[in-house]
Amino acid sequence: MASSKIDTTNIGLVLSGGGIRGMAHIGLLKAMQERDIKANYVAGSSVGALVGALYANGNSIEDMLGFFRETPLFKYDFFAINKPGFIDTERYFKLFKGYFPENSFESLEKQLFVVATDLLKGDEKVFSEGELIRPLLASAALPPVFSPVEINKVLYSDGGVMNNFPKEYVDDKADFIIGSNVSIAGEVNKKAIRNSILLAGRVTGLMIYASSHRKLLECDVHIEPKELEGIGVLDKKGIEKAFAIGYAHGSKALDEEMVT
């Protein structure tokens, strides 16, 4: 494999939310691994937080993909009872414990920043120390599908609501930043906004995309694969395709940086 010309000891990695499309993050990590590029600091929201945690934990590429292949999105005995949301997010705790047995940020090999949304204050919250699993569950709890997660009497939900691309948390630590945004909001036809619910979803998607895209362009190397638009956010059938897309775009972006 080619050796890296990215000469730095302080690399930051920022991974956006975006559901199953986040498997493209793992493709980027494979491209980094093949070029011996290692991040020291990782920041992520939603699926970006999950992928970032697995990476910071030292899991292999196959282990990361296995995590998402094995995690059931909709399971009948996971339905929420007396909780907002259709699925009880905390029912995933045991599965996460299998991957993060020590359940702490301090046990990770790299410094990790996980962003979640404080539903009570209406603000973002970054977790970087102490208990790991509940902040991860909270960051990935996409409303209204997954119920909020209670941490210290506060309800937290999807980090992407307030900050889908949390680059700020590595800015003052890293001197070279790699970013991956998989929350794509490309052109749609009129049928895609034919009712109030679809219209609200479209507007929200555009707002999240605009904020993420602006910060993404500030990264030294970045990917934002448009081909991901065809993959549903919760469509597990898209895992392999999203991974392949991320790998192709990541390899190209890194190779271009290495020859400049």
**Catalytic residue positions?**
46, 158
Nearest to 134 by CA among 187, 164, 172, 94: 94
User: Per the structure block, which two tokens stand in for 32?
Assistant: 């980094």
Residues 6+ apart with CB under 8 A from 245: 24, 27, 225, 227, 228
Return the DSSP state at 201: H
Contact 127, 172 (CB under 8 A): no
Query: How do strand 11-15 and strand 221-223 relate by DSSP bridges?
Result: unpaired
228/243 Cα distance (integer angstroms): 10
Query: Helix (H, G, I), strand (E, B), or coil: what is residue 257?
Result: helix
223/221 Cα distance (integer angstroms): 7
User: Per the structure block, which two tokens stand in for 219?
Assistant: 């990264």
Contact 39, 13 (CB under 8 A): yes
